[in-house]
Amino acid sequence: MERVAFPKDVDAPQRFLLWTMDQFIPFAALLGIGIFFHALFTSIVLGIALSWAFSRFKDSKPDGYLMHLAHWYGVVSPSKLRIGINPFIRRIFPT
């Protein structure tokens, strides 16, 4: 049997090659666009630059900042969808 290395933290983000998944997704999207428009080299360079800029932005902010920002602007996370009462309603009528 081979030994399997366990991650140091249980909450460690999933990785793809050298990047975390949230850094890889913009690169993969630009790579797909570059393949579609036959501009592969340009899209790879832009994808690496965008992933680098995103990692710099993410490292300078606290954990959960992007989720908070998305929630603030009304983007709903499908994985953590919750139903709540609108806080601006003054009266709640029974159904």
Reported as a single tens digit per residue, the pLDDT across 82-94 is 666 666 677 777 7
Q: Which residues pair with 14 in a beta bridge?
A: none
Does 95 score more than 70 pLDDT? no
Cβ-contact 31, 23 below 8 angstroms:
no
Looking at residue 85, its pLDDT comes to 60
Reported as a single tens digit per residue, the pLDDT across 20-29 is 888 888 889 9
Does 34 score more than 80 pLDDT? yes
Cβ-contact 19, 51 below 8 angstroms:
yes
Reported as a single tens digit per residue, the pLDDT across 42-62 is 999 999 999 889 889 888 888
